[in-house]
Structure 1
Amino acid sequence: MDVDGVSVLARGITARGPEGTVFENVDLRVNPGSLAVVCGPGGTGRTSLLLALSGRLRLVAGHVEVSGHVLPAQARAVRRLVLPARLRPGYELEERHRVREAVAERRLISGVPISSIADAFDLLGIDPNASSLVGELAADERLLLAVALTAASAPAGIVVDDVDVGLGATGRSRAWAALRGLAGTGMTVLTSATDPPFGDVEVIPLPAQVTHRPTPTLVLEREEIR
């Protein structure tokens, strides 16, 4: 897999929901092929920032460009470049599906051949039992399955929310190593976590400016059918 990743530039961006400010006056730059981590405690708008950077949440102030595409005017193009592997709410694997059903569904939606999915499994170091329920997989295996199914179509960017949620030290190490490997293909990997991993990552800190998490679904941009 060889990918031309997206770049992301944001200046002074702000989002508000029905309960108030989600995040405010955020500046960031993410280079193509980087592993970037939006980090901070709950309630700081990590998920909402990922939604905004991938063209799925409208901002009230600031400027964002994703590989030259300006948001919100070119949000449709950005949504085609940057795909969600896990982005809560709304973009998660169905836990009641079996692995083979999740694979079949992704092939139907994206049109990728089974060989591309097998290559993505190898890249991320997973080999899930096709008969297993998604919800029965270990948390790190379930996360990496979602990432692999999305990465199989080789998007320019991929979004992975809450990387460290529910993972112990071994699971976190495995997940971050796999995501570093994915970024090594050239793909831009945008993630969120409570704490960033050690090493060569682009950290985007969010301060705890609010004590609640406004519901971003009320301000989501419409997702285009691919």
Structure 2
Amino acid sequence: MGTESEEQPHGAAVVADGFGVKGPRGWVFRKVSFRAEPGALVAIEGPSGSGRTCLLLALTGRMKAKEGHAEVGGLPLPRKMAAVRRISALGQVPGVNELDPAFTVAEHLHERALLQHRFDGSVRALLRRPGTRAAEARARIEEAVAAAGLDLDALPKGGRTSVRDLERLEALRLSIALALIGRPRLLAVDDTDLKLSDAARAEVWTLLRSLTASGTTVLAVCSEAPEDALRITTVAAESPEVPEAPEAPETPEAPEALAKVSTEKTGKAGKTGKTADAPEATGPEDAAGATRTNTDADTTASTTEEGAADALAETGRS
């Protein structure tokens, strides 16, 4: 069993250098570099779709990076993703760990405490008497609820209030309380200021500052970061579309020649000679720069396989 000082939350330093994540459609974000000291408040801001949540997940060991590197509490990413997950915790992230609307507040808290004890507790803790384990679970819940500023008595039905009946601010506090039950060194919160009034946003940032004051490092995704936070701004990823290939030089005879080749190939197969064979050269053996014809298309593009490969490589889809 660890000492009391070892159980207290202490922040994890977060360092990123050229950090990037690539998905099936190209780069989600890339070239992210910053350094945050233990107990820092880091605000990840940017427009929707710019990779804010993916950066949050990557820095907490839930998503694998494709370029650069990062460290959380001295643990390198992506090599030590499992270890980073053990020292970090997520607030509610849509599609990842959403609250169950049918559960009550008390059920959520009790379930999280049981899971925490079952999977993260020491072997000695598992052998303790049931009464002792229950008392420790209650203590953890009370500590987390107080730290998150969640007033159970102020809820419509107290702890028996269903999640579906919670206001947005109270649901956010509950998700933070659930994350704090594990006493993480790094807390990650998504959509921090989504659908909140100015007064409610101020309450949330005050709450997060209080957590950093107690030693926990906080990563928070938001649309607008407060002035006192370490601000990390993401931007929309480059378009994954392949750039259009340059058109072949126009010549007065080209349209007529192409039309003639297509007509002769269709109506006089075997009698067109060498000219009619030109459009069939579509494999790797084509000469560089050869013009290719698609009779079903309205336009004709001219390119080489080497040029297409270069374009794909530039967009991150090769």
User: TM-score w.r.t. structure 1 length?
Assistant: 0.88
1:208 correspondence with 2:208: no
Query: For residue 148 of structure 1, what is the amino acid of its counterpart?
Result: A
Alpha-carbon deviations, 1:166-194, whole Å to 9, x = none? 11112111111111111111011111001
TM-score by length of 2: 0.63
SS at match of 2:49: coil
Question: How much has 1:2 moved relative to structure 2?
Answer: 4.1
Could you tell me which amino acid in structure 2 is paired with residue 28 of structure 1?
F
Shift of 1:208: 2.7
Show structure 1 runs of 5+ residues with no match: 213-226
Aligned residues: 211
- CA apart distance, 1:88: 3.1
Residue deviations 1:30-89 (CA, integer Å, cap 9, x gap): 211111110001011000000110111111110111121111211111010111122232
* Residues 1:35 and 2:64 are matched in the alignment: no
Letter aligned with residue 158 of structure 1: L
* Structure 1 match to 2:151: 127
SS in 2 for 1:208: coil
1:112-171 CA distance string (max 9 Å, x none): 611222122222322132111112111011001110121122111111111011111121
C-alpha distance in 1 between matches for 2:114 and 2:196: 30
Residue 210 (structure 1) shift? 5.2
Runs of 4+ in 1 over 6 A off after TM superposition: none
Q: Please state if 1:76 is matched with 2:82.
A: yes
User: CA contact under 8 A between 2:69 and 2:78: conserved in structure 1?
Assistant: no
Q: Which structure dedicates a bigger proportion of its chain to helix?
A: 2
Aligned to 2:13: 7
Q: Tell me, which stretches of 5 or more residues in structure 2 are unaligned? A: 1-6, 118-135, 153-157, 241-318
Judge which range, 150-159 or 38-47, deviates more.
Answer: 150-159
Letter in structure 2 aligned against 1:156? R
Taking CA–CA contacts closer than 8 Å with sequence separation of 6 or more, which of the two structures ends up with the larger relative contact order? Answer: 1
Max Rg structure = 2
The answer to which structure has the higher strand fraction is: 1
Partner of 1:22: 28
CA distance in 1, matches of 2:216, 2:101: 27
8 Å Cα contact 1:2-1:185 kept in structure 2: no
Q: Alignment partner of 2:174: what SS?
A: helix
Matched residue SS, 1:196: coil
Judge conservation of contact 1:44–1:210 (CA < 8 Å) in 2. Answer: no
Residues 170 and 211 of structure 1: CA distance in aligned 2, closer, same or farther (over 3 Å): farther
1:47–1:88 contact (8 Å) kept in structure 2: no
Indicate if the aligned counterparts of 2:19 and 2:70 stay in contact, CA closer than 8 A.
yes
